[in-house]
Amino acid sequence: MDSPAHADGVAPNPKFYQDGDHPLTQGFWRERDLSDRLRIIGSALEKLKQRMDNQGYLTKKPEDFSVEDWDNYLKIFEECSGKSFNELFECSDCKPTNPVKELTDAHYGKEQFESMGELKLKKPEGCSGNDVITLAIPGNLHHREVNLVALKKFTNREKRPHKTKEGLKELLDSLFAHTVNPDPSTLKMARIYDAFLCPQNSLSLMMEGANTFDIYDYLATSSAADAVKACGQYLARFHLGNRNVKEVVTDEYIRHKAEAFNKLSDNSLADGGIELLSRAGAYHPDIQEVTAENIIKLLSEEKQKKLEFLVDDNRDTFERNCGEIFRSLNKDSWFYFLTKTHGDAHGNNFFYSDARDLARNGAIISADSFYRVSMIDFASIIRTCNGIGDPAEDVGRFLGSLWKWAARTPNQQLTAYDRIHGLQEAFWESYFGLITQEAIIREADRERFQQILTENANFYKLRYYKAIFNSPPEKESKEAKVKLLKFWLKEHKGVDLPVHDLRDMPSRDRPWEKVTERVIHNRLPKKVEKFIESGSTRSNQQSYLTRLWKKFNTFGLGQATLSSTIGTLATTGMGGIGKSSLASQYAHEALNYNGYHLIYWLLSETDSSLLEGYQELAGAIGISVQSAFGQEKNDKKMIQDNILEIVKNIESKEFSEKDKWLLVYDNVPNPEFLKGKVPQKANINVLVTSRWSQGWGLDPMNLDLFSAEEAVQYLSRVINLNKDNEDNRPQVEKLTELAEKLGHFPLALSHAAHYLKFLGGKAVSREIINDYIQKLPPYPFNPQKMDYESLIGKTFEISKEKFSVLAKELIACCAYLNPDNIMEDFFVYGLQDKNEEEIRKAFELLRSLSLIKSGEGDSFLVHRTRTLR
């Protein structure tokens, strides 16, 4: 496979690998560069990289490729290399009629290694689900084996018919990644030497076997601290060598974050509609199949409450930090650097040598030196497009892997919390030490840089844990998962829950009864961030949320099963007072605690919107209905008749008497609207939100403004200010003044708070708050003399000062659309004269100012009380 003659006249690559004199490069590999067939690829590498980048294939994961993507990928490869895939990689030792062989029978050229002595075949763990073997020879250092060659096989299967093409992508991505090694003579990356189709339907990659052992092998030894420090130096040098600050385009940074975590205003820990650790409930030690969704229930209720707070705080901190980094990219006074990242930097992918005689230029290399580290499985580096990765991603994953090792290792002494925490601190000392030594961060900014990097690494660590929690039991045991989660809680043992998070704990004031293992539900509005349990500081000492729960679950409203009556509870009040937010909070809490068999949110402003919701509900419970919309979509009588027909079917559907439903009718125009349109079944709780306060039969719960205390609490929470800290008294005094000027009106407070957060980032000063106050009318708000729509108009006008021209156009267009479900793509594809990135950026601006709120998927919502001027 590595013949002296150069195939097809392709000249040898001028030392594609430049690590020949690296102390970890074995003699066997010092004499070899790319194989002949890879020289052909190497000669077209830059062209390949450019073509793949233009098509978006560099940053795309294999699982996201369509059939057309794979066909196009292969076409680009063959055009650039001048050879067909099969022709280039076909193994000459295989006959076309041969049956599929096991990997150990592949023709990997044993004759090349005969001079190395006795070979041993090993099959390591991990390897991303692909078959891997390692050829090893006995070592003379500490009687250990020396890994020589690793073979990784990609085999087409019925469910994965493009596996060989995935192997081709990994091969190319690995070759591309080698070109971004900032210093091959000091940072060792394992080589990809050859690739071949052997057997016929499998592509095998021949890689340099790391002649050392991965980090996990050393964590139980006296070399643990040195190995971890060496990895800290290695990552720091890799990040510094690939850093990118001045050349980063801010739009690219936002796009990078959007592609990785949906949008910054969404829950960045969400994936596929499942929020990490969101479903708290009663303690259930009997859970066997542990996932990220239910692992929280293996904790005590007290720890569940703390964990929920920590996860939310972790996400919010990450979002704030990203915003601060984003703002710094527009200034010359940047304090943080972005870089290419490894992308999969865990303990299995870093190898360390503890050889006592390892030397460079005649001098023994210190035990904690990066020269002792070799990196493998680095194809994902190339997905860091344009050098805009966060170094914290690599750090968080690496540190998380240390705790993962501790969680799955039974030796209590080796895995003691203090020992692993000490290794983590050793890593940080090594990493930050090298960053400081290189002096790329100004001395005045170092403390802030370290804080943000540490906080972001904690976020990425938690994302890494989420993948572990979702691992099948044969890969990660229940005990290991729980131990890992408890380690994370212990890392944050010094974080106390704020007083407002301890008040009205659902387990005490709202003792939900679990009625089912699985709740049928539709796309509820996103859970309200920074929700304030208002109402509890007035004459009634219970919050609105607790009073709402008691009306349904204590006083029997909606539960009169014998008489088949419906308990209809209405929350009424002017627009922007928080009716939908309260209803959403109740629905989400009911979902978290499995308090109903079915929970459905129905937009009810018009007959058409209600009909759409009913059609979806009918499908969810197995009632077959034809689309009620046809050519007569504007026929109001036809729409009403269809609503009545679906309601009748729901009423006749056989359900258990114990099945408990919650139907939320949002923004109902008046009591007459729902007559005859609500199922008349037992055990259905109906929750209505409406601005109409009369004629509901039962006394509606009329929501009031925030109290002065609640208003300041809300403002403080949004801008992340600890109002109980004496040092923050000047800001709190100004927030109190601002709240009074805004009449404690929730929607106006939301506009103001997010404007302050947008302007001040993580440190909103007294001056910034005072500047906002000066923009308001000089007199305090008086509800007797001024309508709330005018007040919202004023706060909206202040927010518009930060609008781009495009943002103004977009928010104006929204006034003519259904405010509950506006698709962002409608503008992206409808405004042909506008750039997509500019449109996305404008929407991010509107979200950050709380003028639109994210809905499901690509949709968003606009409050009906928006006043456009």
Mean pLDDT in residue range 426-440: 92
pLDDT of residue 549: 83
Give the Cα separation of 838 and 809 in Å (integer): 12
Give tens-digit pLDDT for 304-350. 878 888 887 887 788 778 877 877 776 666 788 888 899 888 888 89
Q: Is residue 294's pLDDT more than 90?
A: no
The confidence score (pLDDT) of residue 496 equals: 63
Does the pLDDT of residue 192 top 80, yes or no?
A: yes
In this prediction, residue 400 carries a pLDDT of 96
CB 460 within 8 A of CB 393: yes
668 vs 811 pLDDT, higher one = 668
Helix residue ranges, H only, 492-522: 499-502, 506-509
The continuous run of DSSP H or E covering 153 comes out as strand 145-155
Helix (H) or strand (E) holding 464: helix 446-469
Burial class of residue 786 (count of CB atoms within 10 Å of its CB; 0-12, 13-18, 19+) = middle
Select the more confidently predicted residue: 454 or 515.
Answer: 454
Q: Which of 69-73, 359-363, 377-381 has the lowest mean pLDDT?
A: 377-381
In this prediction, residues 806-824 reach a mean pLDDT of: 69
Write down the pLDDT at residue 5. 40
Predicted confidence at residue 820, as pLDDT, reads 60
pTM of the predicted model, to two decimals? Answer: 0.61
CB 859 within 8 A of CB 526: no
Per-residue pLDDT at 36 exceeds 70: yes
The per-residue pLDDT for 561 is 18
Within 13 Å, how many C-alpha atoms sit on residue 271's CB side?
12
Residue 858's pLDDT band (cuts 50, 70, 90): low
Q: Which residues contact 812 (CB under 8 A, 6 or more apart)?
A: 868
Bin 529: left if φ > 0, else alpha if -120 < ψ < 50, else beta. Answer: beta
Q: How many CB atoms lie within 10 A of CB 512?
A: 18
Quick: pLDDT tens for 753-805.
Answer: 877 877 777 678 888 888 888 887 665 555 444 454 555 555 656 666 666 67
DSSP 348: G
DSSP string, 807-858: HHHHHHHHTTS-TT-EEHHHHHHH-TTS-HHHHHHHHHHHHHTTSSEE-STT
Q: Is the predicted pLDDT of residue 131 greater than 70, yes or no?
A: no
DSSP string, 592-650: HTT--SEEEEEE-SSHHHHHHHHHHHHHHTT-----S-STTTT-HHHHHHHHHHHHHHH
d(CA 669, CA 166): 55
Element (DSSP H or E) covering residue 120: strand 120-122
Phi and psi angles of residue 83, each rounded to the nearest 5 degrees, phi first = -135, 145
Over residues 527-583, the pLDDT tens digits come to 776 677 776 544 456 777 887 888 787 655 543 211 122 344 555 444 456 788 888
Query: Does 410 have pLDDT greater than 90?
Result: no
State pLDDT tens for residues 844-855.
766 666 566 665
| pLDDT score of 140 more than 50 | no
Please state, in angstroms and as integers, the Cα–Cα distance from residue 836 to each residue in 98, 147, 667, 831, 839, following that order.
52, 49, 33, 9, 5
CA distances from residue 291 to 268, 305, 515, 857 in whole angstroms, order as listed: 18, 18, 21, 23
DSSP type of residue 761:
T
Quote the pLDDT of residue 713.
Answer: 84
Task: pLDDT band for 868, please (50, 70, 90 cuts).
Answer: very low
**pLDDT band at residue 502 using 50, 70 and 90 as cut-offs:** very low
- Give the span between the Cα atoms of 163 and 746, in whole angstroms: 54
The rounded mean pLDDT for the chain is 75
Residues in the chain, total: 869
Beta bridge partners of 122: 134
User: With contact defined as beta carbons under 8 Å apart, do 242 and 382 qualify?
Assistant: no
Rounded to an integer, what distance in angstroms lies between the CA atom of residue 296 and that of residue 269? 15
| Cis preceding-peptide flag for 199 (omega within 30 of 0) | yes
Please choose, from the candidates 702, 704, 739, the residue with its C-alpha nearest in 3D space to the C-alpha of residue 718. 739
> Does pLDDT of 714 surpass 50?
yes
